[in-house]
Amino acid sequence: MAKEESPRRRVQVTTGNGIEGREVAEYLGVVRGIVVRAQTIGQGIRGSFSSIFGGNIRAFEEVCESARSDAYQRMVEHARDKGADAVIAMRYDATEFAQGVTEVLAYGTAVRLAPPVAESAEAIRTPG
């Protein structure tokens, strides 16, 4: 008999220092997602030609967006592993190691949230 996996916990993410209408019950620490990406040869060639003419360089944009998305997902997974309900003060950072090789870091503070006030009040009124 196959074991059913529990549903994945939804983790809220904000660049703010809190989640509106919710109080932080516990700070779980910094969480992060790191991705190091290099452009493909094709993207490098397309990007080089595009840079000659100026404007947005779509080939490089694709690499950057993919790296940000992957770093974000890894950060959320790290928060989920810690049992977080949310990540607050989320930020991105990027560093170029070599030409065409970039590290993208998504980071923030993992927290557990207190139940909403309405839930807490209902729990107090409902006999156990």
Tell me the per-residue pLDDT of 19-68, one tens digit each, with 9 for 90 and over: 999 999 999 999 999 999 876 555 455 555 555 555 565 666 777 888 89
35-40: Cβ within 8 A, 24+ apart: 35/67, 35/70, 35/71, 35/74, 35/103, 35/104, 36/97, 36/101, 36/102, 36/103, 36/104, 37/63, 37/66, 37/67, 37/101, 37/102, 37/104, 38/100, 38/101, 38/102, 39/63, 39/100
What predicted TM-score, i.e. pTM, was given to this entire model? 0.74
What residue spans define the domains of the chain?
Answer: 12-125
The residue among 100 and 101 whose pLDDT is bigger is 101
Whole-angstrom distance, CA of residue 45 vs CA of residue 4: 47
Q: Specify the range with the lowest mean pLDDT, choosing from 15-19, 75-79, 97-101.
A: 97-101
Q: What is the pLDDT of residue 57?
A: 59
Q: Residue 52 has what pLDDT?
A: 56
Residue given tokens 């839930």 in the structure block: 119
Mean pLDDT of all residues in 69-94: 97
Higher pLDDT, 49 or 104: 104
Does residue 46 or residue 11 have the better pLDDT?
A: 11
Given this model, what pLDDT does residue 1 score?
42
Is it the case that residue 14 has pLDDT exceeding 70? yes
The CATH label, of 3.30.110.70, 3.40.50.300, 3.40.50.10680, 3.40.50.2300, for the domain at 12-125 is: 3.30.110.70
Average pLDDT score over the chain = 80
